[in-house]
Every structure is written in structure tokens, then in C-alpha cells.
Chains A and B, each alone.
Chain A
């Protein structure tokens, strides 16, 4: 009986000491595709959410006009990009971590000689790649086919958008991880997860572009990291700024992400010190 192939990149990963994490990413992909109906149903659920926006925006701006520079075309592009990003980063890691804690399954991770947080991030990357290929790309194709006249995906600065999206990806992981880690302290974190997720959707610019909020609120939200999830990446695509401003924004986003990662590490260490896995 033959055993699974090594994979094209595994020798390189082994050399870099990352083989375990590459395998974790591959396993995450394989686990995700075990249930194709799940993937399909989740995929078709996103356009439903998007269609709501489309009808709303079309009703408001279908006959022309704009608010603070957002016309029909800009808003459709804004929400398209927002929901495509959401498709990739919305992996409900918080719920998965909570399930591991509640079931005691976390013990299987703790007896492995790999960093728990890095291991979960590897899985997040694997699922992210899968979601990019199976959700995001078909969604972009579908959106441009359906709303080709209104969506201007060819314009803008794609390179900067990708860099900002990568920061958003890592930040989304850290935020979901932080929510998941609360299960170590509270056991049941469902309500916290749900509430924080809803709030983040609102204050990250997924539901409404942040600069449409009242000025004082927008100023406050600009001081928080959540704008780097959706608002900032979409802004650099729609309204590219000076290169130094883009670079400064990216650096701030990366620093926020690093801060969240350090926070997660501290919380995880504290969690391990107090966590008890009851029973056998």
C-alpha cells in the first residue's frame, strides 16, 4: 500500500522547519472538502447577503447622485470587495476553538510538539486558500458577470489592496482566535462571539463605509484596528492615496496585528495555567 505523496513543497518546508504547519494547512483543506454540500450551501449564502445590498443601493442611487463620493458604482464595488474578503476570512475559528475547549479535544493539540497558535494559523491559511479558490474567485466572476456595468474591479491599485488584504487576513485570524480563547475562561463563549462579530461587522466597514458614519464616530473608529479588516483594504483599492500614506497605513495595520498576536499569546499562556480538562 502506498502512502500519501510528499507534496511538491514539503521538502522545502521540511528544510525550513515548517513541515508540520504545511501539513496542518493541507489537513485543514482536506477536512473542509470532506462535506461538499456544506461548501456549496455556504457559497450560495453569500450572494444572498450581497443581493440585499445591491437592491438597497440600486434603489437609492439607481437614478444617479452620490453621498460623500459614494455613487452606485463605487458602492457596488465596495460591497463586492467587502463580501469577497469576508468569504475568505470568516472561518468561525472562534467557534472551533471553543468546541475544542468544551469537548476537551484541546488536549490532543497540547500533546503535540508544535505551537498551538501557529498550528491553528496554518489551518486558517489552508482554509483561506481553499475559500479564495472555491468562494472568492467564483464570486468575483459571478459579480462581474451580473453587475459588470457597476463593478469596476479592473481599476484601483490591486497590489496595495492585496497587501492590505493580507494584513486583514492575519488580523481576522487574531480576532477570531482572541474570541475563541475566551472559552478557556468562560467555557461557553457563543454569545460573546456573536455580539463581537456583529459589532466588528459594523465598525470595520463591512456593512457601511466608515466615512458615512457621523464625523466624531468616524474619528473614533479610525483609532481602532477593526477598519483594517474591510474599510482600509477597500479604500486603497477605490481611492489610492500617496505611496507614503499607503505605506504608513499598512505599517499601522501590521502593528495592530502584531499587538493582537502578542495579546493572544499572553491570553493563551494564562489560559493554559488555569485551564482544567475534567474527566478522562
Chain B
């Protein structure tokens, strides 16, 4: 598959004014301002394939928002090459933005004082969408985003979830080739997040829209995305599929043992210490749920010995349940950044 986004040696440095405490420093800074250079995006390379659902993930200050602003063409890069759909987002901004949709979770693109349908109508005119196509797409989006109840409401009266639904629906009216979502779930309740994820998945499968999302909500990333770009301190530390990320960083397994009685826990710990001493190093005991849990490096997992241990625990310590799981993407990401 051909990459739709190609970034090479991308770099962005911010010049930030430093404020020192105290009145004297405040006065001094009028005449002698103190600036520092902060590298927000540091020589990064990555590419995304057409039709993929990709996440830009990283802790605060990792450079996600800076990167997404460069990707949508509103921020000029200091160095490097950026090619999206064969265009340079910043230098060809007017032509480029015709083919993309952008939603910033903390800023609505809706007309604050006017109804949602007024915003949609302006959007139609701005993007030159033929009226017939517009009405047809709107019908689909109404059902997908449950818009009927809010179309005639001024944007300022909408809840966060309603605003986000309307914002996403609006950018989908022009059927963008790429949809950029910066923190789309901020402030949304669980149900709104679920319905947004479902709608985005449907849009991706129906129209092969490439979706690039940044979010602090790892559940969203996990449920929505097939690709992930992990960023840390302005650098890409991983770029690939979710499965590859889990395989690369999730080379451990989670083991969980649940027992019938509290007194079985001590006995089980003794058995484990004898049979698999390595496991004891990271074992956690949860008395309220009668559980022992631990993690083992994938290389240390010996199925035969584990099964043998499980059988002994069942026979001698009242083991009720035993499970071994691969880590989820969410756990992998937390593991990487911790």
C-alpha cells in the first residue's frame, strides 16, 4: 500500500519567552527579554498508509499536537520534508485543506451563535460541496451521529459530546481523504466515546478515510486504531501496526491465579516459590479478590511447568481460575512511557 503521509527529518523548534519570578524581573524582561529554544519535534521520520486508522501517542509535551498542526498545514516546520497526498501541507495549504478534515477537541469549528445546520451550510459553501451530495451525505451522517436533535440548536447550547459529534459530522460532509482528530474525546462521557469510535470505524470502512488521531485516552486508541506512532520528547520511538507494537514492547505475559479461600493464598505462594521462584519476584497479592497476579518475560514462560504448577495449585491450594494474557496496547503504552 502506498503511504499517504510521508515525513522525513521533520523538525520544529519553539522560541518561548521565559518569565522569572518577581516584579524586578518582570520590569527587566521589558528591555531584556529572555527566550529559550524548545525542540517540540526533533528530526522525526514516519509514514502512514492510505486508509489506515493511526494514532499519535505520547505523554504531555511529546510533540503530538505540534505534529498534527504541521500535518494539517497551519504550522510551518523548521526543517525536513513533509508530503501528504503529494502536497506540502503548509506551502499548498489552500489546495491541501480541501482534501482533509480537521477537528480539534478543544476548539469547535461550529459557528458559536448559530445553529448546527447554519454551520453545515457554510461548510458546504466553503468546500464547494454540490447540494445534492451534501444532502445525501447529511442523511447518512444524521443517522451515524444522531444529529436530528441538535441540527437546529445554536452551537453554544450543545453539550461537549454533542459538539464533538457535530464537529466530526461537519468535516465528514466534504468526504475528506484524511481526517485529523486532535484529542477528540476530551470531556466526553463513556457512551459518547463509544458512539464516536463506532462512527469513526464505520466512516473508515465505508469511505476508506485515513484517520489520524491524537488522544490521551488509551482506550480510544486501542479500540479505534490499527497503527500507532509513539512519540517521546519530540522523537518517534515506534511507528507501525498495533500488533507490532504489542509484540515489540509487550514481550511479557500477565498471569492471574484466583483461589477459593484466603488461607489458600499463603500455601500457594509457598508452592510457587518452590516450583517457579522467578515468578515470585513480581507477584502481587489481592486479598479482597483472593488473587495472585504477576508478569513473566515471554522467554521465561514455560507452558509445561506452568500447567504442572496450575494443577498442583488446584489440587493442593484450592485454585479456582488461572489465566495468562498478552498485554493490551494500552498496557504496552503505559509500560513504554513509564
Residues of A participating in the B interface, judged by any CB pair closer than 8 Å: 1, 3-4, 6, 10, 19-20, 22-24, 27, 30-31, 34-35, 104-105, 107-108, 110-115, 272-274, 276-280
Contacts and interface: CB of A to CB of B under 8 A. Distances in A.
Contact of A110 (B74, B127, B128, B131): B74
Nearest to B105: A280
A123 to B, nearest CB: 11
Contact of B118 (A4, A20, A111): A4
A112 B14 contact: no
A7 to B, nearest CB: 10
Contacts, number: 91
Given A105-B107, A273-B76, A23 B128 contact: no
A110 B93 contact: yes
A276 B125 contact: no
Given A4-B117, A31-B111, A108-B107, 20 more contacts: A4-B121, A6-B131, A10-B125, A22-B125, A23-B121, A23-B125, A27-B114, A31-B113, A31-B114, A35-B113, A112-B126, A112-B127, A113-B98, A114-B94, A277-B74, A278-B14, A279-B106, A280-B104, A280-B105, A280-B186
B122 A111 contact: no
Contacts of B336: none
Contacts of A20: 125-126, 128
A20 B107 CA distance: 22
Contacts of B73: 110-111
A3 B117 contact: yes
Given A1-B151, A27-B118, A107-B104, A276 B75 contact: yes
Report whether over half of chain A's contact residues are helix, strand or loop; otherwise say mixed: loop
Interface of B: 14, 65, 69, 72-76, 93-95, 97-98, 100, 102, 104-109, 111, 113-114, 117-118, 120-122, 125-128, 131, 135, 138, 148, 151-152, 154, 182-183, 186, 214
B121 A34 contact: no
Contact of B94 (A10, A115, A277): A115
Contacts of A3: 117, 120-121, 135, 138
Contact of B128 (A19, A30, A35): A19
18 contacts: A4-B121, A20-B125, A27-B114, A30-B113, A30-B118, A34-B114, A105-B107, A107-B69, A107-B104, A108-B107, A110-B74, A111-B72, A113-B97, A114-B94, A277-B74, A279-B65, A280-B65, A280-B105
A111 B95 CA distance: 10
Contacts of A279: 65, 106
A113 B113 contact: no
A20 B148 CA distance: 25
A126 B14 CA distance: 38
B125 A19 contact: yes
B134 to A, nearest CB: 8
A273 B91 CA distance: 10
Nearest to B121: A4
Contacts of B74: 107, 110-111, 277
Contacts of A104: 107
A108 B127 CA distance: 13
B128 A108 contact: no
Contacts of A112: 97, 126-127
B65 A23 contact: no
> In this complex, which of A23, A104, A111 has the most chain B Cβ atoms within 10 angstroms of its Cβ?
A111
A280 B152 CA distance: 28
A277 B69 contact: yes
Contact of B113 (A34, A105, A274, A278): A34
B122 A24 contact: yes
